[in-house]
Each structure stands twice: as C-alpha cells, then as structure tokens.
Structure 1
Amino acid sequence: MTTVAFLGLGIMGGPMARNLVRAGFDVIGFNRSRPPVDRLVEQGGRAADSIAEAVRAADVVVTMLPDSSDVEEVVLGEGGVLASAKEGVLLIDCSTIRPETSKSVAATAERFGVRVLDAPVSGGEQGAIDGALSIMVGGAPEDFEAARPVLDAVGKTIVRVGPAGAGQTVKAANQLIVAGNLELVAEAIVFLEAQDVDTDAATKVLAGGLAGSAVLDRKSAGMFAREFTPGFRLALHHKDLGIVESTARESGVVLPLGAVVSQLVAALVARGDGGLDHSALLKLAEELSGRGRKS
C-alpha cells in the first residue's frame, strides 16, 4: 500500500485526502489546526502531529497550502519535507503559487533526491469532494507517470503541461479566465434583474448557447440567491490574480481586462469581503449600478 502524507486539510485538501483514503491509499494527514486531522482519522486516515512525522515514512507527499511562502516554509524549512522525507519521495504540490517559487522548490528538492511536481487544481470545493478536479501538472514526464495513481484518485482531467513551474502558469491563466467569467456573469445578472424578464428562463437559455460556461452552471444559482458561502474565497482569488499580474509583467504581457477584474476583487477584499465566495463579485457589480442589497 502506498503511503501518502497529506499536508494541508482545508476546504480543498480535506476532501482530496478523503478520496485518497477511499482509493485505498494509506493517508497520513497534518494540518496546522487539529479538527481537520481528526475528521480525516474518522474517514480512515491517520494523524500526524508534525510535518516530520507525516512525511517520514511516506512514498508520496501532497501539499495543499495557501501561498508561496507557506510552501517554502513547509517544504524547505526546518523540520519540513526536505529535512524529513526519505530519498526518492515524490512531492506533489497542489497549492496555487508563483511559477518561480515552484521552479525554485523543484531545483532545491533535486539536491535532496526528492522529485517534485507542481500540480495545482481547479474545480472548487465541489470538484474536490467529487474527485473531479482538473489538474495541470508541471515536472518531468516520468514523475508525472509515477504520480498518476494519486492524481487519478482526486481528479478527472489530468494533463502534464510542461516542465517545473508550467502547472502554476496554466493555473494562473485558469484563475484569470474564472475571475473574468465571474465578473461578466455578475454584470449579466444585474442587467437581467433590471429588466422585465424571467431570470430562471434567461439563465437556462444562456447556458445552452455560446454564453454557457462552468461558472454560469455552478455559480449562478448562488449568485441569484445572494448566497456567498465560500467554495473558493475572494481573498485567495485576490492572491491568485496577484500571481497573474506579476507573472504577466515579468513576461511583458498586457492584460487590460484582467487588471480591471483584479482591482474589483481587490476592492472587495479591502472592504472586508475576502472571506466570501468569489462569486460575491456580484455585490460590487450591483452596487456600482446603485442596486445594492443586503446579502
């Protein structure tokens, strides 16, 4: 039985670790707060009280962490993955971080005999629960093949997109598209509600045409209901759009629409809405039209 250490059992990591247990892996979980670890134990996993304890006997280590600095601390820091894991372990980082950080971590890990894939995911909380995530992977082809059994347990669309850092670059593009789509769906909802139309019928016909999208399918009902329980928090999307903007600037790429959406997300976070789902872009869209309401 392959032993998998799973570090980071939050909204996405918790369901992913549970799906690995269901797939027959021996999963050892570690999280900064204890309750998610206890839930994993109830679901058939094992608990660790430290990173070192979690990874010491692992064949594969999966990390699902909030930001670049967290990955650097957990992987490179004292008592971290590189200091504690056995040689030859496969590290799959499913966090969304800067491409340059992924490249740096992979280069450092190579000196320790640790293989690394950057494998950020898309699909939100429901995708994690259903084991249907889209996973964009950067790293060596042979390491990608070695990771397939683990990735297959948590994802549905799994594609190697290039060398180290490539997965993060594609994830940045994903976050750009999702943010832009969310903003346009929000504006369309405000537009529709201002007219004398059946919004349920309008959404149905829009979803069946070229305007249809996963965002419209999965997010519109909650947006119409002003229900913004986080599946993916605005604060995290704000972080991701910062990655998009900085990487684009380094590459000499101009993203005019992306920059506008990034500022709208930043405004919501700045005023205290960072804990809401990213579909809460609707709140600002309707307020800009003087149609704000309590949600």
Structure 2
Amino acid sequence: MKIGFIGLGVMGAPMARNLAAGGHALLTSLNRSPLPDDLPAEVLDSAADVARQSEIIITMLPDTPDVEEVMLGEGGIVEGVQSTALVIDMSSISPIATEEFARAIRETGAGYIDAPVSGGEVGAKAASLTIMAGGAEQDFQRALPIMQLMGKNITLVGTANGSGQTCKIANQIIVALNIEAVSEALVFAAKAGCDPAKVREALLGGFASSRVLDVHGERMISRSFAPGFRIGLHQKDLGLALDSARKLGVALPNTATTQELLNACSARGGAGKDHSALIEALELLANNAISTEKA
C-alpha cells in the first residue's frame, strides 16, 4: 500500500520505519524534520502531492496549527486527497479543531480518523504504542491493520471525530499528575533525609507503584532528562486540557497546578527536557535537589 507520512520527528520517524518494515511504500513531504538516512521514503513537494498518490495519509505533528497548515493550508492534504483515501491524524491536538479538519476532509469523500498515541519514543520504536481513535467504524477497521504495525493497545473510543483527541487529553492529565505526585514524594523524602533511590525501590513494591514511578522516578534520581517526551509538548497538551475544560465548564484544579510547574520549568530553559524534569520546579521550591548524579 502507498502510505503518505507527514511528520518525521522523534515519534514519527520510528513509526514510519515500522510501516516500511511492514512492506508499505512511503511518501512524504518534509516540514521541519529532515528525512532520516535509514527511512526509505519518496519525498514530494507538498502535502497535496503526497495525498494525490497515497491510499492512506498519516500526520504526526507537534501542535494544532501544524496540523491545520498541513491539512487545510496552501498545498495541503485537502487539495490532493482522493475520495477513496483515508486520513489518519496521529498528532495530539485540539478535539474541537479536529472536528473542523475531519469535516473538511470528509467533504472530499475521504475518510478521517483521529488517532493520537501514548508510549513515547520507546513505544514508537517498539511498535507498542497505545492508540486512541475517533471516527466511523468502517474507517477504523480500514485503519486498524496499519495502526497494528505501530501499536498494541488500539481502541476506537468513539465514532465521532475528536473522541480520540479527548481520550489523549485525559491520558495526558493522568500522566502529568502522576509525574507531579512522584516528584512531590521524592522531594519530600529527600528533604527529610531519606535516600530517594531507596524510597523509590520500596514504593515499587506497594500500592503506590506505577509506570511513572518506575521509569520517570529513575530518571529523576539519575538526572536523565534527555527527552522522551518534552516538557514543551506536555505544556501544550495540558493547555488543550484546560482550554477544553473551560469550554465544558469542568474544573481541573490539579491539572492547572501541574501546568504552572511545567511553566516554571520552561521559563528556566527546560522546555526541551523530558517531562520527568518537572521535579526541578519542586526542587527549587524546596531548595533541595534530590540527587546530583549524572547519567
């Protein structure tokens, strides 16, 4: 199958490699990221050109304006997409904007699935991503064999476009608040004179155990903040959460607090660090770093 893949960044490149390994021919139009040397893909001039030649078009872009430009801008997908094609947006963006993009694509006769992912760069490389989809059942079934080359836990959250994005926002709220909770616990323990590594080890055997405590707790202690998922991107996602909650009339008090901690990290030059570096904001407030170890 000819698959157009636009957005070959930290997540998109390994996802595209898995599609190529599955035997599919890849087409792309380069935005900010260059074509990786080991990725067999034909580079075309525009997203519209990619869409004209592709049976399925996948986008994996950083933010809502990026997707809008690629979907609806000059030389965008909507200009070239065939009525028999299927567009799968795997970016994490606004559910409300997603409805607009889906409507524009569906007016051409093509199908549209919003299918944001969770699992980070590690999951992208291992083809073990969690994929949260929104769209018509027939479009989901058509997309499923392709998504199975990139992920393991694949769920059609709802048949309305935007459902997948809403689920991803819920995911990002949970992840952010877990990171904040682990950060608070380790800062508290270290300030009290305990070894945070031993505290983490003990907690992994109890009800407080979590994937965040396991993976990101170790990052916090070893100071391994090379980005798997950048603070700047999590800021964006929590911004989407708070914006959507405001429109829905829903209070998200702890999400708002965690966003402020991410804002503090970003203000100090940490937007490009892994989101586990949120602990640095709490360490600053406590005037106590839990570790000075360098990985």
Task: Name 2:278's counterpart in structure 1.
Answer: 281
Q: Identify unmatched segments of 5+ residues in structure 2.
A: none
**In structure 1, C-alpha distance between the alignment counterparts of 2:6 and 2:62, rounded to whole Å:** 11
Alpha-carbon shift at residue 34 of structure 1 (Å): 5.6
**In structure 2, C-alpha distance between the alignment counterparts of 1:70 and 1:188, rounded to whole Å:** 37
- One-letter code of the match for 1:84? G
Alpha-carbon shift at residue 222 of structure 1 (Å): 1.4
Task: Name 1:151's counterpart in structure 2.
Answer: 147
Say whether residues 1:59 and 2:55 are aligned partners.
yes
After superposition, where does 1:20-169 map in structure 2 within 5 Å?
20-33=19-32, 35=34, 37-39=35-37, 42-162=38-158, 163-169=160-166
**In structure 1, C-alpha distance between the alignment counterparts of 2:189 and 2:27, rounded to whole Å:** 49
Provide the TM-score with structure 1 as the length reference: 0.94
Alpha-carbon shift at residue 195 of structure 1 (Å): 4.0
**In structure 1, C-alpha distance between the alignment counterparts of 2:139 and 2:25, rounded to whole Å:** 20
Other structure's SS at 1:175 match: helix
Say whether residues 1:250 and 2:257 are aligned partners.
no
**In structure 1, C-alpha distance between the alignment counterparts of 2:128 and 2:163, rounded to whole Å:** 21
Other structure's SS at 2:78 match: helix
Alpha-carbon shift at residue 230 of structure 1 (Å): 0.8
The 3 A distance-change label for structure 1 pair 33 and 260 is: closer
Other structure's SS at 1:253 match: coil
Identical pairs, percent: 43
- One-letter code of the match for 1:66? P
- One-letter code of the match for 2:155? V
Q: Is the 8 A contact 1:63 1:95 kept in 2?
A: yes
**In structure 1, C-alpha distance between the alignment counterparts of 2:204 and 2:86, rounded to whole Å:** 41
Q: Identify unmatched segments of 5+ residues in structure 1.
A: none
Deviates more, 1:279-288 or 1:52-61: 52-61
Q: Is the 8 A contact 1:9 1:30 kept in 2?
A: no
**In structure 2, C-alpha distance between the alignment counterparts of 1:198 and 1:259, rounded to whole Å:** 30
The 3 A distance-change label for structure 1 pair 34 and 137 is: closer
The 3 A distance-change label for structure 1 pair 192 and 64 is: same
Alpha-carbon shift at residue 33 of structure 1 (Å): 3.7
Equivalences, count: 291
Other structure's SS at 1:160 match: strand
